[in-house]
Amino acid sequence: MIKVRKPGLQTTVQDNGRNGYYELGMPPSGAMDKYSFHSANLLVGNDENAAVLEATYIGPELEFQEDLLIAITGGELQPKINGNPVDLWQAVSVKEGDILTFDFIKQGARIYIAFSGGIEVPEKMGSKSTYTLCGIGGLEGRALKEGDVLHTGEMKISDVKIGASIPEELRPTFSKHNEIRVVMGLCSYRLTEESKERFLSIDWTVTPDANRVGYRFKGEALDFIPREQPFGAGGNPSNVTDLGYPIGSIQVPAGIEPIALLHDAVTGGGYATVATIISSDLNKMGQIKSNEKVRFVSVTLDEAIQARKEVGEKIEKIKEILK
Amino acid sequence: MEEKAVSSVRYEHGGDEFVFVELSEAMTLEAMFKGMAITNKLKEKNLPGIIDVCPGNASYMIRVDPEVLHPNDLIVVLKELEHSVTDYKSLPIASRLVDVPVLFEDPWTHEALMRFRNNHQDPEATDLEYSAKVNGYQTGEELIKAITTYPFLVSMIGFVPGLPFSFQLTSQEKQIEVPKYVRPRTFTPERAFGFGGAFAVIYPVDGAGGYQLYGRAPAPILDVEQELADFKDSMVFPRQGDILRYRNVTREEYDAVREEVKNGTFQYRMKEMSFTPGEVMADPLAFADKVMGRLYND
């Protein structure tokens, strides 16, 4: 049992996501940075998709009421057990009565706290991930609050040595200036050539409006090609007949501010989508904070698939190391 | 010189996991039914690597694991399907005809829309008055009558879980079309009835939204706890291909339905019906009359 003494900011239970229900308008939810999420689970001997805590900017304060193996990965947020610093990206043993706290975040935006056995909460549509808009998954469909109690489950599949860690070269690095790779397309034909070029050449600033639903960026206005709007689309040149939005897709309502849709996002709507963040870079996107910069870099589909494979290979390497 | 027929269908990549296919830029019954036929056939194939098949209004979208099924290989399959569904007009659709009560000009959406007048094209009018005006109606009452006279076909589920985009079964010249808000609202009450572009919707949950707001439904379309009988199999009620008739109800009836929902006894008035796209496309008005007869008289 784990007692929540302080909830932190928007700390939720997440796993690999509620995949397969997009057709119903159900976004997948799940960990924003899957690489850190899988790593945390592997460090405590769990199935890589076991449920963990995802905390944003401010970590929770937890009191352990049993002996456990835990691991914390993701952004640089110094964890402390009973006030003593412990390492990130490492299997840490805690005893009954120990208290986990965090300092302020230095780099990155989100951390993942895995507990040996995983967090046990009821599954909804095959996932334990919290989706707060509909109030499903996780702990009563909401973020943690003070006084909550978490139970661990049966997702442990192997033994990992206390102190085992993921080597430096397999940990993500963070920066205030980021390149995020995208595949251009979807409805990018609606942008003028000049705006398409500007979209890929300026540094966009992440606004405070950045969360699990999506990130909004400030930069400069983009222009859509004027046209007589097709029937059903609505009046603004950035409107299209309502269509599906891929996870990671970027839209620019009225040409004002681009919005990248992430794991808790709306699944469709009436704005032209112009590019999609590649799946491997969604991890990085989830570690970017408000006021940091993003440059979108256009890649081909095969480059995107290659990048995805490389992430998979790194996870395999971690499994090998922890064996 | 022989001219080759060029398909106007666009096949696009949404990153490495999504393939997006736009059958038509404009909303048409043809595009919707074609997309429905293609996505149904794709589902039947049970291809390994496919995670989601999402039919849309005039487009559709597929999510894959690109390491199992390369998106370009999927596009080859989708193009074959596009060319093989020439018979889509005669493929039967198992549909449900549903009576959906709506309280128009209700106090809750009125309060919400008044809060966001600065986000609207016409801050001086209500959403209903503005929409009536841009569609050539003298009063909001006339627009309500136009909305409630003929039923709507559910053409896509999405935005948030369960939200039905629905398209009216009427003649092209009678189709209602309204702009979306200039800047989306940050709040919309749960069960609000809205209209944007050519689509009527019911918002399943509280949240952001950009459609014009006219009323509120007393019955849910999303029941996360699955307590009501209509939600036994799925927390989401509407399905693509369903036909919804939005019926103008009094405050009294609204309150009575709310009571039934709270008691857990509410069930939609509903009839099952099979139809073909050809039947609808040949004469939407005659089909709409048949639907109304079947739903309320049979």
Q: What does the DSSP 8-state code read for residue B91? A: S
Q: Is A235 close to B16, i.e. CB distance below 8 A?
A: no
ipTM of this complex prediction, to 2 decimal places = 0.97
Please, what sign has the CA dihedral across residues A177, A179, A184, A187? negative
* pLDDT score at A234: 87
Mean pLDDT of B15-37: 97
**Residue A135, amino acid:** G
Mean pLDDT of B108-137: 95
Is residue A235 very low, low, confident or very high in pLDDT (cuts 50, 70, 90)?
confident
Q: Is A191 on the interface with B (CB under 8 A)?
A: no
Q: Is the pLDDT confidence value at A73 over 70? A: yes
H or E, element range at B248: strand B243-248
* A182 phi, psi to nearest 5 deg: -130, 155
Distance of CA A15 to the CA centre of its chain: 11
B283 vs B5, residue with greater confidence: B283
CATH topology of domain A177-311: Cyclophilin (2.40.100)
Q: Is B17 close to A279, i.e. CB distance below 8 A?
A: yes
Percent of chain A surpassing pLDDT 70: 100
Q: What spatial distance separates the first Cα and last Cα of chain A, rounded to whole Å?
A: 27
Q: Is the pLDDT confidence value at A102 over 50? A: yes
How many helices and strands in chain A, by DSSP H and E? 4, 18
Q: Which residue, among A13, A70, A73, has the nearest Cα to A318 in the 3D structure?
A: A73
* pLDDT score at B183: 83
Q: Is the pLDDT confidence value at A312 over 50? A: yes
| Lowest mean per-residue pLDDT among A233-242, A304-313, B37-46 | A233-242
* pLDDT score at B3: 42
Residues 6+ positions from B227 with CB-CB distance below 8 Å: B264
Q: What is the residue extent of each domain of chain A? A: 2-172, 177-311
Distance, in Å, from the CA atom of B258 to the CA atom of A97, rounded to the nearest integer, reads 48
Nearest CA in chain A to B63: A246
Q: Is the pLDDT confidence value at A158 over 90? A: yes
* pLDDT score at A198: 98
Q: Is the pLDDT confidence value at B218 over 70? A: yes
Tens-digit pLDDT profile for residues A107-147: 999 999 999 999 999 999 999 999 999 999 999 999 999 99
Q: Is the pLDDT confidence value at B55 over 60? A: yes
Mean pLDDT of B31-60: 98
Domains of chain B with CATH codes = 10-88 (3.30.1360.40), 94-296 (2.40.100.10)
Chain A residues with beta carbon closer than 8 angstroms to that of B159: 25, 242, 266-269
Q: Is the pLDDT confidence value at B4 over 50? A: no
Q: Is A24 close to B51, i.e. CB distance below 8 A?
A: no
List the single best residue of B16, B133, B188 to mutate versus A (max A Cβ within 10 A): B16
Q: Is the pLDDT confidence value at B41 over 80? A: yes
**In whole numbers, what is the pLDDT of chain B averaged over residues?**
95
Q: Which residue, among A178, A231, A169, has the nearest Cα to A205 in the 3D structure?
A: A178
DSSP sequence for A89-123? SBEEEE-TT-EEEEEEEEEEEEEEEEETT-B----
Nearest CA in chain B to A253: B183
A39 vs B297, residue with greater confidence: A39
Chain B residues with beta carbon closer than 8 angstroms to that of A301: 13, 16, 71-72
Q: Is B122 on the interface with A (CB under 8 A)?
A: no
* pLDDT score at B6: 52
**Residue A20, amino acid:** G
Q: Is the pLDDT confidence value at B298 over 80? A: no
Of B18, B162, B180, the CB nearest to A239: B180
Q: Is the pLDDT confidence value at B5 over 70? A: no
Of B52, B197, B224, the CB nearest to A232: B197
* A314 phi, psi to nearest 5 deg: -65, -40
Q: Are A55 and A9 in contact (CB under 8 A)?
A: yes
* pLDDT score at B118: 92
Chain B residues with beta carbon closer than 8 angstroms to that of A185: 12-14, 20
Mean pLDDT of A58-74: 97
